[in-house]
Structures are given as structure tokens and as C-alpha cells.
Amino acid sequence: YFDSNTLAYLDGAYVKANEASCSVYAQTLHYGYSVFEGIRSYKTPNGPQIFKAKEHYERLHYSCQTVGLPLEYSVEELTEITYKLLELNNLQDAYIRPLVFAGTPNMSLTTAQKSNLLIAVWEWGKYLGDKTLRLMISPYERPNPKSVPIEAKVAGHYVNSTIACSDAKAKGYDEALLLDMNGFVAEGPGANFFYEKDGELFTAPPGSILRGITRNTIIDLAREAGITVHEKFFTPDVLFNEAEAAFMTGTAAEVVGVQSINEHVFSKPYKESIGALLADKYAALVTGCLTPTLEI
Ligand code: PMP
């Protein structure tokens, strides 16, 4: 993620990433009390463009407010700092990781009076790779939204993602698919999930999922192409009995096809599915090669 020349932004300065540090007594480190974003910039004919910068930095503000972490930077300032950081690191196609954390030594369980801001950038290929995924329905559920604010991107929530993902890999699968507290399909550890049936798309509604920015973009691209998208609850049996194809979406993963779930292989090859069509549209959109006809 970094070498001796990489710069990161930390609390007002562009610093050498390998020299940046924080206290081992930081509240964040002990309680998973920090929030973050995952953003990408793409090389486009107009230079590097951060895709949906406003939406990501608005979500960072939302996450901060939700867990009571102060954030002293506006969406515009955060965007400006990020462009500068990309330029200093000479990066165009990059992954961007802003982290708002409570770096002050503090062992209490009260919200922080003060926060720190780190922004790191690095080159990162598609997070889940390019090949279609073999998913496993995880024995771990997504956290109950009555226990934690699931729509905020809180570091501590990712313990759930980490153990679900590692468990699926240990059992020979590529990735996990998690259910919500009611047994409905929710999402992956770091990506949203869609399936296709009779030329229409289905995805879990907001409630027990992170409301992905890629998910919203894909819904817009699908509807623009005349494809109906349903946001509704569904159980795993629907995937085994009715779904013809499936895919996952996320900033890091982009759009990636799903080959099978618990060894059940979908009937339609991913390449011929709506997911593959939308993956192409998404790639064109983020690289500035598709002019959206809708304001998305
Ligand atoms: N769900 C979870 C749990 C995630 O971590 C992510 C990645 N941020 C997503 C969905 C996809 O969100 P986005 O499209 O905004 O990256």
C-alpha cells in the first residue's frame, strides 16, 4: 500500500506514510471506534476523476455524525485534499481510504471530543478479482441494525465482515454472502448483491445493508437501460430455485459476477447476464467514456 516515498494526509499535513503513527492508547484502536470510506479515482480523458466524491464524503459525514465523531472538514475540503494527495503521489487510477479516528489516548466508552483524519491512497486492482465468484451463505449474520448503525461505515462493524470472509475462504469459497437477522439475503462482507430473473434485477432493500454508492449507480444504470430493479427482501431459497444469474457491487470490487452459491451454479453464464452488461456500462461511466443521459 505504500513505500518510502508514499505520502498520506494526516491532520493538516501531507506526510510520509511510513512515518505516520498514532498512540497505542488511541480509543479507536481499542474499541473499533472510527469511520472510513472507500473511494476510487479513475484516469479519464479529463485527467484523474474521483468517482462520486460528493456522495462518498457525504457518507463519511453521515458516519461521523452517527457515531459522534467530530469532522472538521467540509465535503469540498475533503475532495480538494484528496485531489492534491493523488497529484503528490502521481496517481490516477487509485483507491482512496479516508479514516476518521479517535487517536487521543482514552479508555472511556464515551464519544470523542476530537478526531483525527487520515487519507491514504494506493493503486489497487479489483478487490475480488475478475473471475466469477463462488459464494457461500455465511453462518454469520449481518449485525442487527438495532444494535449498531449499519448504514454508517464504522470500522468495528468490519469484524463481522472479516470473520465471515475468512470463514468462507477457509471452507474453499471465494467470498461470503450474509443474511440479515430475519434470514433474508443482505450483502457480502464488502459489497452489495443483486440477482437476475426474467430480465429483471432484485436486491435487498436498505435496512440491513450498507447503502452502497456502486449499488445506487448500478440501479440508475439499469433503469436507464430500461431494466426493472426491485429492492425487496428474499430468502436464500429464491437464489437456489429462481435466480438465473447474480453479481456483486462495491467501490473496491466494482461489478463482479457470481458463478455459484453453496455449489449451486446459476443457469445463465455471467457473460450473458445483465450484470456483465452493467459492468461494461459502469466501467465506461467511471472512466469518463459514457455520458449518462440521466443525472446520476
Ligand atoms: N456493503 C459493505 C458491507 C461494504 O463494506 C461496501 C463497501 N463500501 C459495500 C456494501 C459497497 O458500498 P460502495 O458501493 O459504496 O463501495
| Shared domain check, 178 and 275 | yes
What is the residue with the minimal CA distance to atom 2 of ligand 1?
190
| Shared domain check, 158 and 83 | no
Q: Which three cell numbers stand for residue 261?
A: 452459491
User: What's the pLDDT score for residue 179?
Assistant: 98
User: What's the pLDDT score for residue 82?
Assistant: 98
Q: Is residue 133 lining ligand 1, measured as CB closer than 6 Å?
A: no
Q: Could you say which residues of the chain have pLDDT below 70?
A: 291-296
User: What's the pLDDT score for residue 290?
Assistant: 77
Q: pLDDT tens digit string along 63-113?
A: 999 999 999 999 999 999 999 999 999 999 999 999 999 999 999 999 999
Residue 296 lies in a domain: no
**3-state SS record for the chain:** CCCCCCEEEECCEEEEHHHCCCCCCEHHHHHCCEEECCEEEEEECCEEEECCHHHHHHHHHHHHHHHCCCCCCCHHHHHHHHHHHHHHCCCCCEEEEEEEECCCECCCCCCCCCCEEEEEEECCCCCCCCCCEEEEECCCCCCCCCCCCCCCCEHHHHHHHHHHHHHHHHCCCCEEEEECCCCCEEECCCCEEEEEECCEEEECCCCCCCCCHHHHHHHHHHHHCCCCEEECCCCHHHHHHCCCEEEEEECCCEEEEEEEECCEECCCCHHHCHHHHHHHHHHHHHCCCCCCCCCC
pTM: 0.96
Exposed/middle/buried for residue 21 (C-beta within 10 Å: 0-12, 13-18, 19+): exposed
| Shared domain check, 114 and 47 | yes
| Shared domain check, 168 and 111 | no
Q: pLDDT tens digit string along 25-39?
A: 999 999 999 999 999
Could you give the angle at the alpha carbon of 15 between the alpha carbons of 70 and 86, nearest 5°?
85
| Shared domain check, 196 and 56 | no
> CA-CA distance, 208 to 151, in Å (whole number)?
8
Domain boundary among the residues 122, 145, 161 is at 122
Interface pTM (ipTM) of the complex?
0.99
Could you give the angle at the alpha carbon of 85 between the alpha carbons of 283 and 24, nearest 5°?
110
Q: Is residue 168 lining ligand 1, measured as CB closer than 6 Å?
A: no
Q: Which atom of ligand 1 is nearest to the CA of 157?
A: 3
> Which residues are designated catalytic?
153
Q: Is residue 210 lining ligand 1, measured as CB closer than 6 Å?
A: yes
- Residue 106 lies in domain: 7-122
Taking the centre of ligand 1 as the mean of its atom positions, its distance from the CA of residue 150, in whole angstroms, is: 11
| Shared domain check, 273 and 212 | yes
| Shared domain check, 139 and 60 | no
Residue 292 lies in a domain: no
